[in-house]
Amino acid sequence: MNIIKKEQIFQTAKRVWRPFILQISISILIFSLIFFVILFFRNKQLIETEHIVRARSYYEHIIVTRSWVSNYGGVYIEKTESVKSNPYLHDPDIKSTNGKTYTLRNPSLVTIELSEYAKINNFFSYHMTSLNPVNPQNKPDEFEKKALDIFERGQKEIWIKEKKGNQIYFRYMAPIFRENSCLNCHVEQKQINKTDSNIRGGISVKFDISDIENTLKLHSQLIIFLGFLSTSIFLGIVYCFVIKLMKAFSESQRQIQEMAITDELTKLYNRRYFYSKLNEEFEKAQRYKRDISCIMIDIDFFKKVNDQYGHDTGDNVLRAVSNCIKSTCRSIDIVARYGGEEIIILLPETDKFKAALVAEKIRKLIENKEIAYDKEDKTVKVTISLGVADFVSDDIVKHLDPNQFIKNADSALYHAKNSGRNRVEIFST
């Protein structure tokens, strides 16, 4: 009896499901890529925002300090050997009544000295500059020139990352606006007219972000690794789930196919499947000039079994007879329930004499078998009648068709039943 192989169905299912697996894998990869790219850039954006907030804080502290100094017209500090007078101010020194000399520190110089102090202590550094500075120390570099030009066009701030050797710096710059308290000093220095632009220059802030950038790089590598790992694990889980689903689907499909071709009571092939295989094997026999035989079987006096013992016993008898026949046949033989208590066997590459030997073997097996039919181990015995027919491609009957082939076997079965039953008859013309 031919068996529907699970592996064949599974391989067929794999071909059907392959596009689905490919599509879902691509979807997962795209989703994962988008998610981790967004995570990467979001992380990068948060770090950059933190740099900007930090730089703005430094800038605002400087502006507040300048404003305080400017509002008081500058501050005086005691002049010592380490404290020099501002050469860009007119008459910056004064003497007190106790004989000490004090020198004026205007907002610009306070800003410069605070910058030097911050740099020495590795806090951060900043630089006050303008396009036309009086003090050469305030000369702008390329970044500051670009920033000052942008400020004249209305932009409020600018920042960049600058790499020098192994160090990475964050540079931020925002404009300095002219205050009324500064006008007198600057007009006196002939730096500005009162009708000039309101922007006096700018303050650039610079601090080291090497550690943060290295950490960000490490986090980026970690994100890539975790992205690859999580995507691989997720794909593996999905693949395992799909494989299980495919196997379950294949098994369900196999069961459905078996149900479609199998008789529910006897578990033999049904008549429809038998005829589909009959046509296939008949064509092979004709094409390759091979013998093919058929055995038609009928349980003798089966109606009496049903009437005497009941239909449940009749079903047990039919199942037991079917199992005996199936166990006797080869794997290439087609055993089917033809209808009622009739069973038919198709034997490829077998002539009628070999088929008759098989039929006789089955007959004796059934004759000697005791079939249990209730829980008290009561048994019943039955016999069968068998008709055998064959087709040989070089036979004088050139136009024998499958239906006639079956009719011949049925005719031989009819002759066996009329000749006393429990016997094998071979069709002869």
Judge residue 41's burial from the number of C-beta atoms within 10 Å of its C-beta, 0-12 exposed, 13-18 middle, 19 or more buried.
Answer: exposed
Name residues whose C-beta falls within 8 Å of residue 156's C-beta, 6 or more positions apart in sequence: 174, 175
* Cβ neighbour number for residue 179 with a 10 Å cutoff: 14
Query: For this structure, is 113 an active site residue?
Result: no
Q: What is the mean pLDDT of residues 319-327?
A: 94
**Residue 359, token pair as written in the block:** 């039929």
Q: Is 400 helix (H, G, I), strand (E, B) or coil?
A: coil
- What's domain 271-426's superfamily in CATH? Reverse transcriptase/Diguanylate cyclase domain (3.30.70.270)
From the candidates 144, 213, 281, 341, give the one annotated as an active-site residue: 341
75 pLDDT higher than 90: no
**Residue 360, token pair as written in the block:** 């006789």
pLDDT digits (tens, 9 = 90+) for 230-275: 888 888 888 888 888 877 777 777 778 888 889 999 999 999 999 9
Domain with CATH 3.30.70.270 in the chain: 271-426
Q: How far apart are CA 274 and CA 338, in angstroms?
A: 8
pLDDT digits (tens, 9 = 90+) for 364-395: 999 999 988 776 678 899 999 999 999 876 55
Cβ 212 vs Cβ 10: under 8 Å: no
**Residue 167, token pair as written in the block:** 């160090």
pLDDT digits (tens, 9 = 90+) for 15-38: 766 787 778 888 888 888 888 888
Beta bridge pairs of residue 391: 292
Q: What is the DSSP string of 189-254?
A: TTS--TTS-SEEEEEEEEEE-HHHHHHHHHHHHHHHHHHHHHHHHHHHHHHHHHHHHHHHHHHHHH
Write down the pTM of the prediction: 0.53
189 pLDDT higher than 60: no
Q: What is the mean pLDDT of residues 306-332?
A: 92
C-alpha closest to that of 277 among 317, 322, 361, 336: 336
Classify residue 269 by its DSSP letter.
Answer: B
Name residues whose C-beta falls within 8 Å of residue 317's C-beta, 6 or more positions apart in sequence: 299, 302, 305, 371, 373, 380, 382
Name residues whose C-beta falls within 8 Å of residue 96's C-beta, 6 or more positions apart in sequence: 102
**Residue 47, token pair as written in the block:** 């770090």
Cβ 389 vs Cβ 395: under 8 Å: no
Q: How far apart are CA 303 and CA 281, in angstroms?
A: 33
